[in-house]
Amino acid sequence: MVEGIENNALAQMAAFTRKWFPGREITVRTMGEALYLEKDYWNKMQIAMQSGITKAFKG
């Protein structure tokens, strides 16, 4: 099943929508909102990781 999702953008968007909005209907709007939230989450995670690594090496 994962192989199908990796190559299917619509399935990925539906999965993100279910992750971020489990009770909402899957629409173009909710898929767009879910994509924004997913990208924002990983961007903030990247910043947090970089900050942690910087702190660790500065001692």
Residue type, 38: E
Structure confidence at residue 3 (pLDDT): 72
Q: How far apart are CA 51 and CA 10, in angstroms?
A: 34
Structure confidence at residue 4 (pLDDT): 83
Asked whether the beta carbons of 33 and 21 are under 8 A apart, the reply is yes
pTM over 0.75, yes/no: yes
Tokens of 52: 């942690």
The residue-averaged pLDDT of 53-58 equals 94
For residue range 4-49, list pLDDT tens digits in order: 899 999 999 999 999 999 999 999 999 999 999 999 999 999 999 9
Q: How far apart are CA 44 and CA 10, in angstroms?
A: 24
Of residues 38 and 1, more confidence is placed in 38
pLDDT band at 2 (very low <50, low <70, confident <90, very high): low
Residue type, 20: W
